[in-house]
Amino acid sequence: MGLSNPILRGVHPDPSICRVGDAYYLATSSFAMHPGIPIHRSRDLSTWELIGHVLTGDSWIPLEGFDSSDGVWAPTIRHHDGVFYVVFTLAHGRTGASTYVCTATDPAGPWTRDAITGAEGIDPSLFFDDDGTCWFSAARDAVDPGAYGPGEIWVQQFDLATSALVGPRRAVWHGALARTWVEAPHIYKANGEYHLIAAEGGTEYNHSITAARAPHPLGPYTTDPRSPLLTHRHLGRDSPIQNVGHGDVVWSPEGTPWGVALGVRPVDGHHTLGRETFLVPMSWDGDGPVFAPGEGAIVMDADDDVDPIEPAWVALRGPVDARVDAGEIILGASPLTLAQTGTPSFLGVRQTMRTSTFEATVDPPTVEGQRLGIFAFQNEKYHVGVVAMGRDGDTVVQIIAVSAGTETVLDEGTLAGSVRMRITTAPTTYLFEATGGGGERVSASIPHTALSTETGGGFVGVLIGPWHGGTTGDDPAVFSDVSYRSGTDDANA
């Protein structure tokens, strides 16, 4: 089977995978995006389709007041006895605040949601033993950090009928690497032993996958001396894939193991697409898992000229008043800007390719204070867009950049008639343009570093899409002739 890496482009981090029959299912983190926890399906591990979301409708959790990198972290998807299970952490202030389990008989939904009382930390996971016993694992601050380091993995039995943790809770492992935080635990059973893989070194340049094994889910665990089993930190800053870690393992119907892991694809040390999902060939010998045998690293195939997955529209922190038809988006009104932590009237697609174009046309704003635009959004403090507004009977268009929370107008002009807005992305630049009916034009270009995660911080990538702000009126905004076209991922384009 040929690889098509990354298998999920754009911000799709913390991948978890399971198989039912001949179909594979992937769940990834969604942070403050609505709907939450996308579920993708594949029959060949290479070509994926979005089939639904875990958190939408009755299962949704309101996220007003959450930073765009908080919210829904690190889901794990598993299947047992006809039921799909997804467990995840709800984080606030970069700290695990609560833990939930969602269940469904159809992974496309609907899903039910229950809180798991007393679950500490982040990155929960479930493991179903041969006798049907379910074991819950997660990462938390170490009880004795002075002796072991800052973090530890704990395990406890999970009662499926009551969604409750039962029996003794045990800290089972403090990681393979001295004095580093250990997270993202998953337990598997192979060759009569229990294997625990985890992530260490942080989710940035020193990220890695490590492992341990034990005779029982509660331990005692012995560190795999080959750890780290997968990392790219030794490949240098010029490696096309960086920050590799947070893995999960699935077995094909033929019994072949495959891994998924997150990684980023920086250009000149900065990435804007977010942490993406990659597929990793594996083997499993008497010593345990081997990631990327014979290579020791994730292999990226030749650059594609199109993202094979149809882009999905997302909002921030909750549903918005919107209707999306072919080539047209109608957005209700909201006074909120993208700098606020409520639910602005914004719909975005994940930027999935380094080179792409997003375009839309708006008619002149007619309501006092109304502002219509398209934005490239990294987070509340870093976003840039094209905005049209009414002023003294004219349509004024500005290129607005918000950097470190400070707003700057990069260009401004008066345009006649309908306004065609465009954001063009390239490996090292973003170009923002607007053209009026008479050919009038405003434009500004910024370096990609201005919207990178390295500059803006957090865990997400760029979203691109329309915004309707500045008013609470009843008149919706119409964005017509909307298109998002991906180009190439060639870093030298």
Q: Are the beta carbons of 10 and 350 closer than 8 angstroms?
A: yes
Report how far residue 10's alpha carbon sits from residue 378's, in angstroms, rounded to the nearest whole number. Answer: 12
Report how far residue 422's alpha carbon sits from residue 386's, in angstroms, rounded to the nearest whole number. Answer: 8
Question: Of how many residues is the chain composed?
Answer: 493
Residues in contact with 179: Cβ distance below 8 Å, sequence separation at least 6, in sequence order:
149, 150
Q: Are the beta carbons of 51 and 108 closer than 8 angstroms?
A: yes
Give the closest residue to 436 by CA, choosing from 413, 415, 412. Answer: 415
200 is catalytic: no
Considering 183, 248, 307, 433, which one is annotated as catalytic? 183
454 is catalytic: no
| Torsion angles phi and psi, residue 220, rounded to 5 | -75, 145
Residues in contact with 225: Cβ distance below 8 Å, sequence separation at least 6, in sequence order:
none
Residues 331, 332, 334, CA angle at the centre, nearest 5°? 115
> In b/e form, how buried is each residue of 106-134, taking b as 16+ CB within 10 angstroms?
ebebebebeebeebebbbbbbbbeeeeeb
3-state secondary structure 44-80: CCCCCEEEEEEECHHHCCCCCCCCCCCEEEEEEEEEE
| Torsion angles phi and psi, residue 167, rounded to 5 | 75, -175
Residues in contact with 298: Cβ distance below 8 Å, sequence separation at least 6, in sequence order:
5, 230, 232, 241, 244, 261, 263, 278, 280, 292
Q: Are the beta carbons of 84 and 78 closer than 8 angstroms?
A: yes
Considering 14, 200, 224, 248, which one is annotated as catalytic? 14
Give, in order, the Cα–Cα distances in Å from 297 to each of 14, 33, 182, 235.
18, 31, 21, 9
User: Active-site residue numbers?
Assistant: 14, 183
